[in-house]
Amino acid sequence: MQTSFVYILLCADKTYYTGVTANVYKRFEEHQDGKHFGSYTFSRRPLQLVYFCQFMDVEQAIEFEKKIKKWSQAKKLALIEGRYEDLPNLAKKKFNK
């Protein structure tokens, strides 16, 4: 069983990029070096690796990556900062009455 990582990069334009890889440090260097012209991160360098977590099941990693990609910037920041108790509230929509 191969280890997989879900990672988040902070781009120079203050946006986040989320991905899945088997080697988080190698993949970060590929992003940083601009290996894939036209990719989301190519024109948003320099980058910072701000979060990663490890999975023993690649399917679970892909599922978590897809979930994170739908999150708001605020919710991603809470995850990055380890404010796990804030995650449920950041998932709730606020409606004006």
Predicted structure pTM score: 0.92
60-95 pLDDT tens trace? 999 999 999 999 999 999 999 999 999 998 876 554
Cα separation of 44 and 63, whole Å?
25
Taking residue 16's Cβ as centre, other Cβ atoms within 10 Å add up to 19
Q: In which residue are the tokens 């902070």 written?
A: 10
* Domain annotation covers residue 74: no
Q: Is residue 87 part of a domain?
A: no
Q: Could you tell me if residue 95 is inside a domain?
A: no
Question: Which tokens is 51 given?
Answer: 């979060």
Domain that holds residue 10: 4-69
Per-residue pLDDT of 17-26, as tens digits, reads 999 999 999 9
Separation between Cα atoms, residue 39 and residue 48, nearest integer Å: 16
Whole-number Å distance between alpha carbons of 14 and 54: 24
